[in-house]
Amino acid sequence: MKIQYRGGSSPSLPTVARARLVERLTVNQEVAGSNPVGHPLEVIMIKEITLDNFAEEVLESDVPVLLDFWAGWCAPCKMVSPVVEEIAEEYESKLKVGKVDVDGQQDLAQRFNITGIPALIVMNKGEAVASQTGAVPRPTIENLFKDLI
């Protein structure tokens, strides 16, 4: 029996500089909660955006940036997070994706007048050019930045 295993980080974990490890393998046996040794790993970068790295990662970015304002206790944020991760993977060379923990980065949340989460903001050349609040489907998120890439 062939099984493809795909693992990743939980969006409810405390924020740390995140590199999402996506494990992809095909095995000829059942995988029961543990990963075989020697499988290939692909690194997908989703940056933690803080006040300290905001200028470098967002304002000075050569590509548009999708900012995901979220919190670990927010159920709709947990629904949007896998979609944001898929977008980061699919558009990795054309779009930078960053996550902003509103509990830990209240100054950034206030700067963007975040009153509800999840909140998605697209930045291009240092300017906020599109935004969306709430759990929305992937096409709605993609429409925020499609014209910029």
Question: Under a CB-based contact definition with an 8 Å cutoff, are residues 39 and 69 in contact?
Answer: no
Tokens standing for 126? 């240092």
Catalytic residue among 77, 121, 141, 144: 77
DSSP string, 28-75: SS---SSPPTT--EEEEE-EEP-TTTHIIIIIT-SS-EEEEEE-TT-H
74 in catalytic set? yes
The whole-angstrom separation of Cα 149 and Cα 145 is 7
Q: Which of 44, 58, 74, 121 is catalytic?
A: 74
Cα–Cα separations (whole angstroms), residue 37 to 23, 25, 27, 41, 75: 11, 11, 11, 11, 34
Q: Which residue has the tokens 């970015």?
A: 61
> Any catalytic annotation for residue 77?
yes
| Residues that are catalytic | 74, 77
